[in-house]
Amino acid sequence: MSDEAVHGPLHGVRVIELAGLGALPFCSLKLADMGADVVRVDRAGEVPADPEPKGYSSWDRGRRSIGVDLKHPDGVATVLRLAASADVVLESFRPGVVERLGVGPEAVWERNPKVVYGRLTGWGQDGPLASSAGHSLNYESLTGVIRAIGPEGGPPVPLLQLLGDFAGGGLH
């Protein structure tokens, strides 16, 4: 049996996820499900000592995690060291944040010019909403999806699942 059949089509692909909300964790979860080696970079202090503590979320499955302070030079150096041996780096910060922190595409490409640097921002890197936080409820509201649910003439009803985040993460 081939490695792909046993481990998945992305076996051997290393992904660094700069932990975020919404579409990014779903995207990296799906990459891990397909066999990628995903290392999630969490905020320092947010990584449990026990990899599967009581209440462990199935959203965390298949990924290793490291706690890093991106506002400290040692934390930036750690991320750049991880990125140097990665195939993919994914982030979902608002435009300009990773550049200010020192882990933006240019800094990563200096160490690894072949890495694929993916940005899963809510509203893209430019445009009128680019600097706004993007979350599933925002997308569903702006597109009118929440008006399609609930009683006629009643208030908007938020979806019970994160459709916007799942769709965005699944497409990346």
Tell me which residues are annotated as active site: 135, 165
Q: Which is nearest to 118 in space by CA: 137, 98, 136, 101?
A: 98
The letter for the amino acid at 122 is G
Ordered DSSP codes for 30-52: HHHHTT-EEEEEEETT-S-SSSS
Structure tokens at 69: 């302070």
Alpha-carbon torsion angle 126, 121, 163, 132, nearest 10: -60
Q: Fill in the amino acid letter for 12.
A: G
Tell whether the torsion through CA atoms of 18, 126, 117 and 56 is positive or negative: positive
8 Å CB contact between 170 and 33 = no
